[in-house]
Amino acid sequence: MTHRVVYSVVHRNDEWHVLKDNDLESQGRFGSKSDAVEFGRDLAMREEQGQLRVAAMDGSIQSESTFGKDPDQIEGKQG
């Protein structure tokens, strides 16, 4: 089963960073949030199952988007 690869756009040290799966090393650093979001979206869209989380300046999640095919559905009991 493929897991969803999550990219996050966060603000730190006066820059916007794109992080992959909460990795401490940036995939990219940007002066503007819009450039970071565009870069992060491009990365997430290339994944089989990608997700982009965009944080506000205070670190709270501002938005989330998913890309690619949905994971396989598992049939459950109906009662």
Among 51, 75, 54, 72, CA closest to 63: 54
Rounded distance, CA 79 to CA 77, Å? 6
Give the global pTM. 0.83
**pLDDT tens for each residue of 11-51:** 999 999 999 997 888 999 999 999 999 999 999 999 999 99
